[in-house]
Structure 1
Amino acid sequence: MFDTRPDRDAEVVLVGRSNVGKSTLMREITGHSVSTGSKPGVTKKPNHFDWVSESFVVTDLPGFGFMSGVPEERREQIKTDVVRYVEANAEQILVGVLVVDGKSVVDIIDRHSGPDEIPHDVEMFHFLRELEIPTVVAVNKMDKVDDRDERLDALCDRLGLLPPWQQWQEVIAPISAKREQTEAFDEAVRHHLHEAKRDDLFKFF
């Protein structure tokens, strides 16, 4: 199911929990509709959108974490598949995008933090960085957040980044994908593409 990747040299991957807006952000990037739904877990296998001429692919990976009506065994398998996919393609991934829900991410992280538990979002953030994949955290649904700076500072704190969040603008990108407010994300991704000497891909962001 995860071996559908087109043979391309450069890739941007979207990872994150179910229902945080990955597919909506994918639609913003590509201009093409991908299946989105109000129920978590709509994306069951990777969605690839590629451009042969640029040898470039954007991949929306299935969401991990809680999904109503999906057995835990299946949820664990999806997470394992996502991790394996990222590991297998790390050399080609120019940017790893962790999409989170700005309104609930800090509460979810706190709820799942304990001596024997690392929250999925924190784990995935550090996993991408350990693989030396430039990482952008797209903090989505910010149009629903009132205490914006406090919320983003708290997220930085949970991810092990020293607040204030403003000093991490190539990492932390507050957006509202549904409202097409993705400028901070575009800037952050372009920063990493420039570092990779791929300014030719700016037109997609």
Structure 2
Amino acid sequence: MFENRPDRDAEVVLLGRSNVGKSTLMREITGHQFNTGGKPGVTRSPNHYDWASEDFVVTDLPGFGFMSGVPGEQREQIKTNIVRYLEEHAPNVLAGVVVLDGKAAIDIIDRHTNEEEIPHTVELYHLLRELDIPAVLAVNKMDKVDDADERLDDVADRFGLLPPWKQWQDTIAPITAKQGQIEPLEQAVRAHLEAAKRDDLKKFF
């Protein structure tokens, strides 16, 4: 399932729990329609979108976490595949975008935090950092959040970034993908492409 990556040097990946809006965001970035569904776990294998004339691909990796009708073993396998994919392609990944549901993310993180367990999204974010992949937290569905600054400060805090969140605008990007409001994410990704000396790719964001 994870073997169909196009032979491209540069890559931006989207990651996150099921049903946070990754496929909708992918559609906004690429202008290309992907299968999105109200049911978690629609994307089970990576969606790659590459531009024929450019040595570049955007990849929407499968969602993880609870999926209705998907056995726990299979959910774990998806997570393992995501980690392996990142480890294998890390030198080529210019940005890893962890997509969060702005309304639910803090509750989910806090619910899964105990002595033995780090929440999956926090773990993934730190994995990106360990692999030297520039990480961006795309906090989606912000149209459903009343206290935006407070919520984004909480996000910063849970991911080990000292609030206020506004000092992390290359890392924390509040968006509403469904309404096409993704400019903060585009700016953050462009900053990382610039840092990688890939100004040629900034036109895609």
Give the structure-1-normalised TM-score.
Answer: 0.99
Aligned residue type for 1:153: D
1:25 aligns with 25
The residue number in structure 2 matching 1:199 is: 199
1:60-100 deviation digits (Å, cap 9, x = unpaired):
00001111111100000000001100110001000000000
Q: Does 1:82 align with 2:114?
A: no
Alignment deviations for residues 111-154 of structure 1 (CA, whole Å, 9 cap, x no partner): 00001111001100100011010011100000000010010001
Counterpart residue number, 1:8? 8
Identity %: 71
* 1:34-76 deviation per Cα after TM superposition (whole angstroms, max 9, x unaligned): 0000000000100000013210000000001111111100000
Q: Which residue of 2 aligns with 1:109?
A: 109
Instruction: Write the distance in 1 (CA, Å) between the matches of 2:192 and 2:130.
Output: 16
Q: Which residue of 2 aligns with 1:146?
A: 146
C-alpha distance in structure 2 between counterparts of 1:10 and 1:165, whole Å: 28
Q: Please give the residue correspondences for 1:1-205 in structure 2 after superposition, counting only pairs within 5 Å.
A: 1-205=1-205
Secondary structure, aligned partner of 1:117? coil
Unaligned runs of 5+ in 1: none
Amino acid at match of 1:59: T
Q: Report SS of the residue matched to 2:127.
A: helix
Q: Which runs of 5+ in 2 are unaligned?
A: none
Quote the Cα distance in structure 2 between the aligned partners of 1:170 and 1:111.
27
- What displacement does 1:181 show? 0.2
TM-score normalised according to structure 2 size: 0.99
Inter-partner Cα distance in structure 2 for 1:193 and 1:52: 19
Instruction: Provide the rounded CA distance (Å) in 2 between the counterparts of 1:144 and 1:58.
Output: 27
Residue 142 of structure 1 aligns to which amino acid in structure 2?
M
RMSD between aligned residues: 0.5
2:133 aligned counterpart, secondary structure: coil
**What is the aligned residue count?**
205
